[in-house]
A and B are shown apart, each in its own frame.
Chain A
Amino acid sequence: MQTDHTLIRQVIDQSLAGASLDPQAQQALREHLSTCAACSQYLEASNRAIAGLEGFSFSIDPGLDSKVLASLARRAQQLEAARIQRQRLWWTSCAALVLTSIGSLAASQLRGLAAVFHVGPAQFHAGLTTFWILPSLCFCLLFLLLPVFPALLNDKKGLPL
């Protein structure tokens, strides 16, 4: 008999916690509650405790909303500024890449320069790649990495990128 009550109270708890009961369990619960004062009282006490939670009314600092909204507006501005900066750097990087490509292509076409430096065409191309094209490409990529540096240096203050 005690087991019955324990089981029924578990079902009551499950039901209150939000678990879905199958029709048979619901029927068994109804039948038991109609004849068992102790379990009915258990359910009533549970419902009363839950209803009691409605009796709390927490006060909110009247200035809190305006503080939150002000900090949101400020942060949104910072994030927007960071986005614009990132966009600018992206376009600058693209432009630098295009200019580098054009310049490198033009330089590679100037075969006469090899004679000016008294080197062979292969050496000229190697020098051009080492001292012009690669550094220029690195420089272009540097624009994209610029916004990451503050975040790497100071993780807390860096804007999320």
Chain B
Amino acid sequence: MWLSEMTLPGTMDTDTQQIARGLRQRDVALLSALVAQYQYRLVRYLIYLTGSRNLVDDLVQETWLRVLERGHTYDGQSRFEPWLFAIARNLAIDTMRKRHIFSLDATNEDDPDHTIAAPISTGPSPFEQAARTEDAHRLAQSLATLEPIYREALVLRFQEDLSLQEMTRIIGAPISTVSTRIYRGLAALRAHMEGALHAN
């Protein structure tokens, strides 16, 4: 909506080109509009990625600062979301490495016994807190224990509706790896959902 208001009559600019131009000019008004438009999705992505709320606010702030500083690297040829999420992902990985929480890229997907330590937290997980429907409550426990790489694949594919190609740009892995993560993530949710339904 905000972008259509900013479009000059008669111009052929696409939204992404407008964003790219605004970022090159470090247009704070445009950034404010981007924050308003993408904040929830960024928060959601980071919660799925980290499995915790503790780091999210700081990461969100750092992500937007990085968007301001490195905006000139966004070319406007592809959608803005993958570029934004790639920045957030790199920052999250750096932060988690520094704090020795866990590493997304150290995951050995071929090792079924391999597990990644989830951030230590007490009380309900952010998924349990955010669940608003019965099915969401059923899924919340599964999401909380699922490895971050699978949660990430699920949110990018099914919540952000990104294509496999866009996901590969964010994750930095080949399509086959990204697809496998989606299958495994979905399998975990399905198993939990079926288990919960049968238990009822």
Contact = CB atoms under 8 A, between A and B. Distances in A.
Interface of A: 13-14, 16-19, 42, 45-46, 48-61, 64-65, 67-69, 71-73, 75-76, 79-80, 160
A68 B36 CA distance: 10
Interface string B127-145: 1011111111111100000
A12 B25 CA distance: 45
Contact of A58 (B26, B40, B164, B194): B40
Given A56-B127, A56-B130, A56-B131, A49 B186 contact: yes
B182 interface: yes
Given A53-B155, A56-B132, A58-B130, 4 more contacts: A17-B157, A17-B183, A51-B135, A55-B135
A45 B194 contact: yes
Interface string B162-198: 0110000000000000110011001001100110000
Where chain B touches its partner, the secondary structure class is helix
Contacts of B26: 76, 79-80
Interface of B: 26, 28, 31-32, 35-36, 39-40, 43-44, 47, 57, 60-61, 64-65, 68-69, 126-127, 129-140, 154-155, 157-159, 163-164, 178-179, 182-183, 186, 189-190, 193-194
Contact of A55 (B132, B158, B163): B132
A59 B39 CA distance: 11
